């Protein structure tokens, strides 16, 4: 018999969560601690946690998943959902704290490109807020219409960005100044895994040629913007310069935050 304290400690160490009653009862009757370890490390939950902590996003980015996402992106002209969402990750919630102040309203700019689910509704709101700004919605036809060289690209899902890089990297290269993309943090998962997922997303965005990446969110029902942190590319491709932002406790941080990526970093880190 294995003590409940031992089983619970192994769950926390290997799976990042406390043992549920059924699992506790089952593994307490295991013949040895080694058997418990072998059983837990063979689970999907352990593999998911290992991938997350190793720097691979918990959302699948395997070639077949990316190919499927790219196909749906092309089929929907950049306006339909790419993958099925977890029930807890309602995509419209990301738009509730979109930092409007990060979108250039200057009608002299090269305009804004909006892709993803709710892109049409988001573009309508942008037109209301910034009359005269050139706003394009959805994907141009590949090989027929060249991508618009927008100042700003807004995506309503992070997975859309990975699929876009898979099938239409020209759309990302055409962004002159700024990109906005939301990242989701499942509150049911351990904090270290969520942090690893966000780090993976941030490094992916830097790898697309953006020098500065800030993590921000807008408070609901307010124009107040919270700046969590910033990172800057360095000559060492594996090293980012990190600069903390506002002091934000985990309880008040929403499950959706936004990565604001700039081609050219600000002279004074924020």
Domain contains 188? yes
pLDDT at 60: 46
Is there a single domain that holds both residue 235 and residue 202? Answer: yes
pLDDT at 141: 65
For tokens 């990060």, the residue is 102
Is there a single domain that holds both residue 34 and residue 87? Answer: no
Is there a single domain that holds both residue 70 and residue 10? Answer: no
Domain contains 55? no
* Residue among 101, 130, 127, 115 nearest 217 (CA): 101
Question: Global pTM?
Answer: 0.76
Q: What is the mean pLDDT of each run of 10 residues along the chain (270 residues)?
A: 86 84 92 89 85 60 61 70 49 81 75 89 89 85 61 90 84 92 88 88 94 92 88 89 86 87 75
**Contact of 206 with 233, CB cutoff 8 Å:** yes
Is there a single domain that holds both residue 174 and residue 256? Answer: yes
Is there a single domain that holds both residue 107 and residue 228? Answer: yes
Is there a single domain that holds both residue 23 and residue 122? Answer: no
Domain contains 56? no
Structural domain span for residue 132: 63-262
Kindly report the backbone phi and psi dihedral angles of residue 245, in degrees, each rounded to the nearest multiple of 5, phi listed first: -115, -130
pLDDT at 232: 96
The 10 Å Cβ neighbour count of residue 223 is: 9
Is there a single domain that holds both residue 32 and residue 136? Answer: no
Is there a single domain that holds both residue 195 and residue 133? Answer: yes
Handedness of CA 85, 91, 94, 100 (dihedral sign): positive
Is there a single domain that holds both residue 69 and residue 120? Answer: yes
**Contact of 263 with 110, CB cutoff 8 Å:** no
Domain contains 54? no
Kindly report the backbone phi and psi dihedral angles of residue 251, in degrees, each rounded to the nearest multiple of 5, phi listed first: -65, -30
Q: Is 241 helix (H, G, I), strand (E, B) or coil?
A: strand
In the chain, how long is the greatest CA-to-CA distance? 73
**Contact of 13 with 50, CB cutoff 8 Å:** no
* CATH code, domain carrying 189: 3.40.50
Is there a single domain that holds both residue 147 and residue 29? Answer: no
pLDDT at 253: 82
Rg for the chain, CA atoms, rounded:
21
């Amino acid at each position: 018999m294995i003590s409940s304290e031992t089983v619970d400690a192994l769950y926390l160490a290997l799976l990042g969560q406390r043992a549920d009653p059924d699992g506790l009862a089952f593994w307490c009757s295991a013949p040895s601690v080694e058997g418990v370890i072998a059983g837990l490390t063979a689970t999907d939950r352990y593999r998911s946690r290992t991938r997350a902590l190793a720097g691979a996003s918990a959302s699948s980015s395997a070639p077949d998943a990316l190919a499927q996402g790219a196909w749906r992106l092309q089929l929907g002209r950049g306006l339909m959902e790419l993958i099925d969402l977890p029930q807890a990750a309602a995509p419209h919630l990301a738009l509730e704290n979109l930092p409007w102040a990060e979108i250039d309203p200057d009608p002299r700019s090269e305009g804004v490109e909006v892709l993803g689910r709710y892109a049409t509704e988001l573009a309508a709101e942008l037109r209301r807020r910034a009359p005269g700004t050139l706003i394009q919605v959805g994907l141009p036809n590949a090989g027929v219409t060249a991508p618009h060289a927008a100042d700003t690209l807004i995506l309503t899902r992070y997975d859309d960005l990975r699929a876009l890089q898979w099938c239409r990297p020209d759309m990302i290269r055409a962004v002159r100044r700024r990109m906005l993309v939301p990242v989701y943090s499942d509150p049911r998962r351990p904090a270290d895994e969520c942090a690893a997922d966000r780090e993976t997303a941030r490094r992916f965005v830097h790898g697309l040629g953006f020098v500065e990446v800030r993590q921000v969110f807008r408070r609901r029902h307010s124009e107040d913007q919270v700046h969590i942190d910033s990172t800057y590319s360095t000559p060492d491709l594996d090293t980012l310069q990190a600069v903390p932002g506002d002091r934000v406790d985990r309880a008040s941080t929403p499950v959706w935050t936004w990565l604001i990526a700039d081609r050219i970093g600000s002279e004074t880190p924020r």
